[in-house]
Structure 1
């Protein structure tokens, strides 16, 4: 197991004392289960539980959607064009990698099926992956509202398409900032416009200023639009037709038809070479890169910052 020296109990914040084959034992005498080789470090206040993992309960993700031996999944994932694409994701992560010193400690929240991707993308970092389920075998299972690491543990924290699935994003973002070192980086990505998904674990959408307000202890280094107006339009039109019916066969037919008819629309976003919040008022999503500086910013300070950007 990696980076166990900074582990704390998610409730008491007691330090890790000992690791057995079955448990993490803490200095206050409490213990948390290791199941199928993965530590389950849930707070008692979490909406997720140890039993969810033991019983393989499907929560925020269902790994079966990746199974392309299933005919429907094969058509959807292999043959049909996607309705939207984050064209700059590789460039964005390459830029982040260049900013990160070698041997940095990096925490990934909600790694999902991209565990290998992240570890390969940041080869010189000690990458710690996490999620609220064990379908893809992360390093640790925990709820991001109660991160079981001590203050200032990580040089980099990355959470892509995770915040919308947190029931209390304010607390979640405070936790992200708590475990990031002063001067460390946070790369956070989330939708402004996207259909309800992973139900019922889908709670919020974020505008530019709403996103910024969640990270008051940080300086904004860069903001990218992950998918623009065209992608948002394609997603909206597609979902309009899909939602004309509640019957699975009809919805699947509309998904097939709309992917064929509207899959090309996303490429219109490529014509906006420098998309920003002025030129793209209805993006599908944002990617913020922050630097933790611990400067105290009030709500007025954050709004003033926004007005200064407009000048």
Structure 2
């Protein structure tokens, strides 16, 4: 049995004015609960954050959630998908290369296990919130359960908590943005998700995406959707990953007004990225 499955915390944040350091908040909590609940060191989460400031969308991502934009093509009238986020999953070759570069002396930093690439043979994601047993060596020991511990000690953190930050200047032809955990993207392509939202505007789009994904999961298991829904949620994790979806519709007139408003500055920093201060303006709700 591997580490606990990773929940995902996808947030849509408008007018964000402050950030909380994982190293401060999580470490204090782990230190406090470690003696009684050592497994807390093996608990972690993906996190996806979107910030709209003055007509600009900032995205910070940790883990394998994804942001996809629905963009209207005036020439054809079609709405096409454009992925805006960077994912941190060992199944992606560039992520494996990044891990090898960061750990040149560790030939087992990425292991192919049961046809799935995993960091140290344990976990698929290379960046997360939490998972301190793979970030701080002092938690990779008893009383943490042996099945979570690495056999050999490590000096440098194996996982990172630095987000990948990307920027997109919102345009009048940008229709909507889908924020979703990997549980959705396991069953739908970017374009399939955009088509579903486009064909069912504003009327429960997020719920419809989840339903289509669950129907696909049921089909792969050769069972009916209604039977899958009757399975207890805890047990259902053996049939499909957790799915969280937020769909944000964009109003071009509001974006235009937001970009012209002068407000206090904000700077955004992520893994290897430091963006200059930008105007923080009210975004569309």
Q: Please indicate the TM-score interval, normalised by the length of the shorter structure.
A: under 0.3
TM-score computed with the length of structure 2 as normaliser = 0.25
Tell me which protein shows more helix as a share of its residues: 1
Q: Bigger relative contact order, structure 1 or 2, given CA contacts below 8 A and separation 6+?
A: 2
Q: Greater strand share, 1 or 2? A: 2
